[in-house]
Structure 1
Amino acid sequence: MILRDQIVRGLHPPGAPIPNEDALCAEFGVSRITVRRAVADLETSGFLIKRHGRGTFVSDKLPPGRPSATLGFLDSLKKTDIETQVEVLNVEAAEPPADIARQLDILAGVAAIHAVRLRRRDGAPVMVTEAWVPEAIGQGVTRRELQKRALYQVLISQGIRFGRVVQEITAVAASPTYAKLLNTELASPLLKITRLLYDVKRRPVQHLTVHISPERSRLLMDVSIDSMNTLAAGSIFHDVGPEPTK
């Protein structure tokens, strides 16, 4: 993945040779078998070409680059809905985990609507979403409805007006379930995006978790310069060491 990113960014330009096996082993601290596998994967993906007796080179015909994007939050949801195909894996009324219940202001023992979906693009799995919605506003969230339209559209049709989103981004290792759904290796790195959506009255209306593989997906953010020193641009928290004294 690192070598692929270097190629995409132009650190190894089209037609240029990549470092030999010994150099790659030393750079990444891995075995020769691992290097050969990575190079073979990149060759299969169209990023590298082996030339007998000469070495391995970056392809002159790289796969199309990823376009940049400038979209509002609802526009980005609409874009995802249009460009991907959804498979609804599960929809049920269930008691949410304690941490999610707290964020949604749901009392212990009270059920919420739980929906799990897998999205594909051109047949490739790209995203697993897991949503929790308070039961009082989630009556219209059914398997049939989610097969026809996105969750945010279902909620809007029920009168929900979104006001703000709190988002957290972390890296996690792929569990057996996510590795299988996203067709990736067990414990491979995934990007986990957690969103808590509020309505215009500042009531939490949806808890959403998204898992994506960095091999196929990325997250873009368009932040105004006025927001760069505010929470809107994102704050970094370190979960190590003692809490700072006040």
Structure 2
Amino acid sequence: MSSDPIVSLDRRRPEPLWHQAERAIRARIEAGEWPAGTRIPAEDRLCELLGVSRITVRHALRNLESLGLLRREHGRGTFVRSATVVAGLRGLTSFTEEMAALGLVVGSTLLSQEIIPADAMTSAALEIEEGEPVLRIRRLRLGNDAPIGVQAAHLRLDRVPGLIDEDLSKGSLYDRLDRLYGIQPTEATETYRVGAVDAVDAALLGVAPGSAAFVVERVTVDPRGPYEFTHSIMRGDRYEIRSTLRV
């Protein structure tokens, strides 16, 4: 682990010192100097390397922890985490936007796009008859090139005519829906529960079958009603849910 000064912080800049410190620590992580699993220097050592106070260092570390880049272990220190998505209170965003907001490089592998009959769960979510055709888009979701989840989006076929013939391997699906059909989400309801990864998804996610995962179901609506039902299996070790509760 390098003990050279991390960066020269500039007190003349309008940018707060804690933010400069946060960016400096993050730069070492993203450059691979402090890889996943590494214990970073203690707070007093970071104060020396950065030339700032303990309060400033703690502010920076707290922000990086909230972003999922660091984890603190009582009595052991602070460690660099593997790519982790921390989901909490946020606006209605796509996966692409969520990854960008967390500072992760978004990636996606298209597994399939096909028209299938809606099962009972999908038909109830989209308010259509069971067995009606829907477009299912199944993708492997990545953050910083690491698999995070397997996501299957089900779209009402009457709302997206011709989408089956589009190349959906790149870009944001929400951007595509807006550009081609003028569909802009106004509300979404998400349900989280704990489940186990089956053998097929386990191979894609790089985990053992039966590993713990978050099962996330999302129904997205616009002024015309529900148009998308998404079912996601998110790796339990790379996806967290964090909420702030206030009186």
TM range (shorter): 0.5 to 0.7
Structure-1-length-normalised TM-score = 0.61
Q: Which amino acid in 1 is paired with 2:126? A: L
Moved more, 92-101 or 132-141: 132-141
In the TM superposition, what are the counterparts of 1:151-162 in structure 2 within 5 Å?
151-157=173-179, 158-162=181-185
Residue pairs, 1:31-42, within 5 angstroms? none
Alignment-derived partner of residue 73 in structure 1:
92
Q: Quick check: 1:198 aligned with 2:200?
A: no
Aligned residues of 1:88 and 1:143 also touching (Cα < 8 A): no
Is 1:186 matched with 2:213? Answer: no
Amino acid at match of 2:80: P
Q: Which residue of 2 aligns with 1:110?
A: 132
SS of the aligned residue for 1:156 comes to helix
User: Which stretch shifts more, 70-79 or 83-92?
Assistant: 70-79
Aligned partner of 1:165 in structure 2 is 188
Matched residues, number: 172
Matches within 5 A, 1:1-246: 8-14=71-77, 62-63=79-80, 71-74=90-93, 77-80=96-99, 83-142=105-164, 144-157=166-179, 158-201=181-224, 203-221=225-243
Q: Which amino acid aligns with 1:190?
A: A
Task: Please give the per-residue CA displacement for 1:88-145, whole angstroms capped at 9, x wherever unaligned.
Answer: 0000111021121122112233201011000223332112110100001123534753
CA contact (8 A) 2:117 2:134 kept: yes
Q: Which amino acid in structure 2 is aligned with residue 185 of structure 1?
A: A
CA contact (8 A) 1:164 1:200 kept: no
Aligned-partner residue type, residue 167 of structure 2: E
Q: Residue 107 of structure 2 contacts residue 143 of structure 2 at CA under 8 Å; is this kept in 1?
A: yes
3-state SS of paired residue (2:186): strand
Instruction: Give the alignment's TM-score, normalised by structure 2.
Output: 0.61
How high is the sequence identity, in percent, across the aligned residues? 19
Q: Please give the alpha-carbon distance, in whole angstroms, between the structure 2 residues aligned to 1:142 and 1:199.
A: 21
Q: Residues 183-215 of structure 1: CA distance to partner in whole angstroms, max 9, x if unpaired?
A: 1111110011100111124x1110011211121
Give the counterpart letter for 2:123 in structure 1. Answer: A
C-alpha displacement of 1:160: 1.1
Say if 2:119 and 2:130, in contact at 8 Å, map to a contact too. Answer: no
- 5+ residue gaps in structure 1? 1-6, 15-60, 229-246
* Counterpart residue type for residue 138 of structure 2: V
Deviates more, 1:131-140 or 1:176-185: 131-140
Ranked by relative contact order (alpha carbons within 8 Å, sequence separation 6 or more), the top structure is: 2
Matches of 1:217 and 1:100 in 2, distance apart? Answer: 24
Quick one: distance in 1 between partners of 2:227 and 2:134?
Answer: 11
Distance 1:113 1:128 in 2: 16
Indicate how the Cα distance of structure 1 residues 143 and 191 shifts in structure 2: closer, same or farther if over 3 A, else same: farther
Q: Given the superposition, is the C-alpha separation of residues 172 and 100 from structure 1 closer, same or farther in structure 2, using an over 3 Å criterion?
A: same
Deviations 1:135-188 (A, max 9, x none): 011235347532122221122221112121111000001111111111111111
CA distance in 1, matches of 2:209, 2:226: 33
